[in-house]
Amino acid sequence: MMFAIFLGLPLLLLAMALFYMLVIYSPGAQRDWGRLPAKEDYVARHGSTCCRQCGAAQTLDVGLLRYTDFRRKILCAACKTSLWREEEQ
């Protein structure tokens, strides 16, 4: 019985850590998000907050993986191009 607990708990923690890494944190999405410019950099490079692809001024603020994700991605409302990233405090 004790043996099962000693073996089971680390395995459970390992499974939770893996779940967090792959599903919640999602390294691939995190990397893509990190490649997006900050808003100031986007404005400095393109002259305004308008979409660089189609020129639309309206944007969408979406969470990276979930609606409530603190890692925000700003998309063009018209053509859905990723414009810049923001981080909620």
Q: Which residues pair with 19 in a beta bridge?
A: none
**Least distance to Zn ion, CB of residue 82, Å:** 10
**Residue 62 or 78 with smaller CB distance to Zn ion:** 78
**Residue 16 or 57 with smaller CB distance to Zn ion:** 57
Strand intervals (E) in 9-81: 59-63, 71-76
Distance CA 28, CA 20 (A): 13
**Least distance to Zn ion, CB of residue 51, Å:** 3
Distance CA 62, CA 75 (A): 8
**Residue 22 or 57 with smaller CB distance to Zn ion:** 57
Chain contacts with Zn ion (rule: CB under 5 A) = 51, 53-54, 56, 76, 78-79, 81
